[in-house]
Amino acid sequence: NHIIVTGFGTSGQEAVHELLARGTDPREIVVIDGSEKALELAEAHGCNVLCGDSTRDKTLKDVAIHRARSMIVSAGRDDTSILITLTARHLAPRLPISIVVRNEDNEVPARQAGATTVINPVSFAGLLLAGSTTGEHIADYMADLAASGGRVKLIERAVLPEEIGQPLSAIRTGLGLRVYRGKRPIGFWEEDSRRLQTGDVIIEIAEGDGHGNALPPV
Amino acid sequence: NHIIVTGFGTSGQEAVHELLARGTDPREIVVIDGSEKALELAEAHGCNVLCGDSTRDKTLKDVAIHRARSMIVSAGRDDTSILITLTARHLAPRLPISIVVRNEDNEVPARQAGATTVINPVSFAGLLLAGSTTGEHIADYMADLAASGGRVKLIERAVLPEEIGQPLSAIRTGLGLRVYRGKRPIGFWEEDSRRLQTGDVIIEIAEGDGHGNALPPV
Ligand SMILES: [Ca+2]
Ligand SMILES: [Ca+2]
């Protein structure tokens, strides 16, 4: 029931940093990298480490991938990251796998390789840049939403028993944005959001943890 | 009243792509780059182009920076981007300037140089990676929110006359998330959000434009 992080470059480091900020026990994190130097940094944070090649079955078996609760893949090169994803998906058919790709053309292959979540930082930056031309707070709000610290955070959770039959707008843990009913997304403005059902997954905005900050001080 | 884009690498290109998707007239966009090849691409989209060095006063004056409505800085190197920002801020004290930085250490200097918005794609990717370990839809929702297409979009706008005195939760254009009253952010859960005032700026989630998609097809 651990989190596997393959590749401890800048994205991998930022991810671990945020996991720790969210209260994840560093002993639940296993970092794999080919560089001893990168691993020293991970060890200094209290994470478990393994020096090895994550594209190999043996490496992933050595970190007990079949028992992991999720995996983060950010190997620095898209081809390597996609091969790691393929290898991992083969060994752990139901494992949530998040991958960073740098080239937009590799988003679809990454999903085909079995990634649950595909993140393209460059593409995201472009969206935020464009959004920032229509409002100076847009990018800051997005950063706050993505980080658990600060004033708000975006949460995904299962519907609570006491919420069944109630509207999404009535949840008391935050502001309800979207319901996933199976694979179908239902917006806050849609009729079907007025009656939550067993099995629904809710996306909501809740108050942030306050400590820490998504934004650098000015 | 145009948008200046300095640097037409991948982030700059993605930003222009999204601006066009949002309905911005390409003739309102001026792209500056030192590479003729990059500019050919911008021209093919119908944008105005200028081959030059954006760290020079003359270049920015040539694109009438004093009349621009906003500026996007993504020069590929943080030192160059920060120098462009300093130059631009000197020439246009009130211009909204959004800058991409790659190194976290440069976020504060970028703000000190006068950037209104600082975007760090790597840091953002780390946040999204960490968030994705707690919910498979988090990163996709964030991408949908950032893009104008898809099911939802994040909007920043001035309060409407008919909303004055009403609560944030009663706005009819979308789901109200936050109010900026001067520089002070007020959350949807806070008492002060129950009575909108003249001069308030609202952050809301509205239905997306539908066409296009923040997510690649699977
Ligand atoms: Ca936050
Ligand atoms: Ca959208």
Instruction: Tell me what pLDDT residue A218 has.
Output: 32
Using DSSP, state whether A206 is helix, strand or coil.
strand
Q: A154: CA distance to ligand 1 center in Å?
A: 8
pLDDT digits (tens, 9 = 90+) for A118-143: 999 999 999 999 999 999 999 999 99
Per-residue pLDDT of chain B (218 residues; tens, 9 = 90+): 999 999 999 999 999 999 999 999 999 999 999 999 999 999 999 999 999 999 999 999 999 999 999 999 999 999 999 999 999 999 999 999 999 999 999 999 999 999 999 999 999 999 999 999 999 999 999 999 999 999 999 999 999 999 999 999 999 999 999 999 999 999 999 999 999 999 999 999 999 987 554 443 33
Q: Report the SS3 class of residue B100.
A: strand
How sure is the predictor about A150, in pLDDT bands with cuts at 50, 70 and 90?
very high
Cα angle A102, B12, A74 (rounded to 5 degrees) comes to: 15
| Nearest CB partner across the interface for B129, out of A74, A142, A217 | A74
- Chain B residues with CB under 8 Å of A167 CB are none
For residue A22, which residues of chain B lie inside 8 Å, CB to CB?
A: 130, 134
- What confidence score (pLDDT) does residue B60 get? 98
Pairing of strands B201-207, B152-158: antiparallel
pTM for this structure?
Answer: 0.92
Q: What is the pLDDT of residue B125?
A: 95
Q: Count how many Cα atoms sit within 13 Å of the Cα of residue B106 in the half-sphere of its side chain.
A: 20
Q: Which of A31, A80, A200 is nearest to A39 (CA)?
A: A31
**Residue tagged 């400590």 (tokens):** A211
The span from the CA of B173 to the CA of B159, in Å, is: 11
**A124 contacts B137? CB cut-off 8 A:** no
Q: What is the pLDDT of residues A14-26, one digit of tens each?
A: 999 999 999 999 9
Task: Flag whether the ipTM exceeds 0.85.
Answer: yes
- On whether the CB atoms of residues B176 and B202 are closer than 8 A, the answer is yes
CB B70 within 8 Å of CB B98: yes
CA dihedral over A157, B143, B139, B76, signed as positive or negative: negative
Taking an 8 Å cut-off on Cβ atoms, the answer to whether A124 and B127 are in contact is no
- In sequence order, what are the residues at sequence separation of 6 or more whose Cβ sits closer than 8 angstroms to the Cβ of residue B116? A132, A136, B96, B97, B98
Judged by a CB distance cut-off of 8 A, whether residue B26 touches chain A is no
Contact B155 A135 (CB under 8 A): yes
The pLDDT value recorded for residue B210 is: 75
**What pLDDT sits at residue A210?**
74
Higher pLDDT, A212 or A187: A187
Query: How many Å apart are CA A144 and CA A154, to the nearest integer?
Result: 9
- Contact indicator for B31, B49 with CB cutoff of 8 Å: yes
Q: Does A101 touch chain B (CB under 8 A)?
A: no
Contact B117 A100 (CB under 8 A): no
B191 is written with which tokens?
């008492």
Q: What CA–CA distance (Å, rounded) separates A189 from B156?
A: 19
**Which band of pLDDT confidence, cut at 50, 70 and 90, is reported for residue A211?**
low
A37-89 confidence digits (pLDDT tens) = 999 999 999 999 999 999 999 999 999 999 999 999 999 999 999 999 999 99
In this prediction, residue B218 carries a pLDDT of 32
DSSP letter (8 states) at residue A27: G
